[in-house]
Amino acid sequence: MVKTDYVFTSESVSEGHPDKVCDRISDSIVDLYLGADPQARIAVETLATTNRVVLAGEVRGPASVTHDRLIETARQAIKDIGYEQAGFHWKNAEIECHVHEQSVDIAVGVDAAGNKDEGAGDQGIMFGYAVRETEELMPAPIYYAHNILRSLSAARHADANSLLGPDAKSQVSLQYKNGKPVGATSIVVSTQHDESVDVAEVREIVRPHVLKVLPEGWMCPEDKFYVNPTGRFVIGGPDGDAGLTGRKIIVDTYGGAAPHGGGAFSGKDPTKVDRSAAYAARYLAKNVVGAGLADRCTIQLSYAIGVSHPLSVYIDTAGTGRVDEEKLSAVLQELVNLTPRGIRTHLGLNRPIYTRTSSYGHFGRAAEADGGFSWERLDLVDELKRIFG
């Protein structure tokens, strides 16, 4: 029996969270390489702690992208986030670079040669999801959790004298009735702040951002509105807790409302199906729901390293589908070539469009004119409606 009345919770973290600092740096490096060579291969990890950043990974790209440029890119990313604190400062942080050439064994498996098409950059399973809970066809808890922090971040960047710091978290718990969200049962926001303000002041700084983001009447009871529950959050960012690339994969996707294949996105070029196939799966699922063929859709793709075509394409509409799922799977594979090359071509992924994905979710964002968030387009809707009547 499907549960219809329940409370579901998702969390988000800001661009100043230690792990997101690392995602931002890694994706800035991806963009640096793809801007210099759209066919570059990149797999870069970042570690950050008190005034120290370490870059490591494997790349294949132009010699013009030197270690010095990678270090400068990392420094600029930290500056853009807004870190000018004693324990983590864009100007003073020591940055080490241990990035080196990609393994020739991996390159042989992935590269196209003769009659062999380009293969997947790794084995793995990837999921895409869409649901009719928000206009963007995202699960409501993660959507609102992201937008609370995006609002706080925009205000901080717009005010040179802001009393808030870059590091922040949010958590939204929504009550569902008959399977649909109807309001918040609790809201948690923890945000780094200046030493001059106390928790009561921070609470009132945060409150209007929550009220602006939530639908009218959805605010939780006052005693379930938690702002900086520990009472103090002055030391934050990598100075308060070490960060690593790829540790916030549920924040990056659907907030736990849908499965995740396990692979992180940031720091990887689009030949890595961890990233590109997850984008393709979201694209397909969103168009299925957008076309009215289902109210909820989960799509799983699986790949083997060096093999071009997916090993499986699984679709689950959770009982909300209005068409046969096997036929739907076949139609989607006809409409979109799900090889790594096919995905990159269809969605235009060999471009420097990834820095902007590194915080506030890879999904549920508006497709942009330069190709950013191309996987959020609804350009298959008309064809799906035509095919399925």
Helix, strand, coil: what percent of the chain each, to 5?
35, 25, 40
Query: Could you count the other beta carbons within 10 Å of the beta carbon of residue 201?
Result: 14
What stretch(es) of the chain map to CATH 3.30.300.10? Answer: 6-14+140-235, 124-132+272-388
- Crossing angle (nearest 10°) for helices 18-36 and 67-81: 130
CA distance 57 to 87: 25
Query: Over the range 73-88, which residues count as b (16 or more CB within 10 Å of their CB) and which as e?
Result: bbbebbeebbbebebb
Whether residue 296 is annotated as binding a ligand: the answer is: no
H/E element holding 35? helix 18-36
E strands present in 194-332: 225-227, 243-244, 296-303, 312-316
Whether residue 241 is annotated as binding a ligand: the answer is: yes
Q: Is 389 exposed, middle or buried (0-12, 13-18, 19+ CB in 10 A)?
A: exposed
Whether residue 156 is annotated as binding a ligand: the answer is: no
Print pLDDT tens along the chain (389 aa). Answer: 678 899 999 999 999 999 999 999 999 999 999 999 999 999 999 999 999 999 999 999 999 999 999 999 999 999 999 999 999 999 999 999 999 998 776 655 566 555 456 777 778 999 999 999 999 999 999 999 999 999 999 999 999 999 999 999 999 999 999 999 999 999 999 999 999 999 999 999 999 999 999 999 999 999 999 999 999 999 999 999 999 999 999 999 999 999 999 899 999 999 999 999 999 999 999 999 999 999 999 999 999 988 889 999 999 999 999 999 999 999 999 999 999 999 999 999 999 999 999 999 999 999 999 999 999 999 999 999 999 98
CATH number of 124-132+272-388: 3.30.300.10
The partner residues of 180 in beta bridges, in order of sequence, read 177
Q: pTM for this one?
A: 0.95
Architecture of domain 6-14+140-235: 2-Layer Sandwich (3.30)
For the annotated catalytic residues, the residue numbers are 17, 19-20, 45, 58, 169, 233, 241-242, 247-248, 268, 272, 274
Whether residue 102 is annotated as binding a ligand: the answer is: yes
